[in-house]
Amino acid sequence: MDKELLAMLVCPLCNGKLKYDREAEELRCHYDGLAYPVQEGIPVMLPEEARVMNADEKLPPSPGRTGDA
Ligand SMILES: [Zn+2]
């Protein structure tokens, strides 16, 4: 996806910055806990189309955790 386009995009609900997940092809707003789909390179910035993220996805990446439980 176009980096300049990505930089222009904000969450329609909170006007916050979105984080693009390349593998999932989603634009995520961690504030609202919503993931907006990107369909064929076109971001769908509609809250009603967005997926509600689960609790694990909402967590910010923690630098101290390496996966050993
Ligand atoms: Zn938001």
Tell me the CA–centroid distance for residue 6 and ligand 1, in Å.
Answer: 15
Q: Which residues pair with 43 in a beta bridge?
A: 38
For the chain, the structural domain boundaries read 3-58
Chain centre distance of CA 58:
10
Low-confidence ranges of the chain (pLDDT < 70): 1, 60-62, 64-69
Tell me the CA–centroid distance for residue 69 and ligand 1, in Å.
Answer: 31
Tell me the CA–centroid distance for residue 7 and ligand 1, in Å.
Answer: 15
- The predicted structure's pLDDT at residue 66: 62
- The predicted structure's pLDDT at residue 12: 95
Tell me the CA–centroid distance for residue 68 and ligand 1, in Å.
Answer: 31
Q: Strands 34-39 and 26-29: what pairing?
A: antiparallel
Pick the CATH number of 3-58 from 2.20.25.10, 3.20.20.140, 3.40.630.30, 3.40.50.2300: 2.20.25.10
- The predicted structure's pLDDT at residue 7: 81
- The predicted structure's pLDDT at residue 56: 84
Tell me the CA–centroid distance for residue 28 and ligand 1, in Å.
Answer: 8
- Under 8 Å between Cβ of 31 and 11: yes
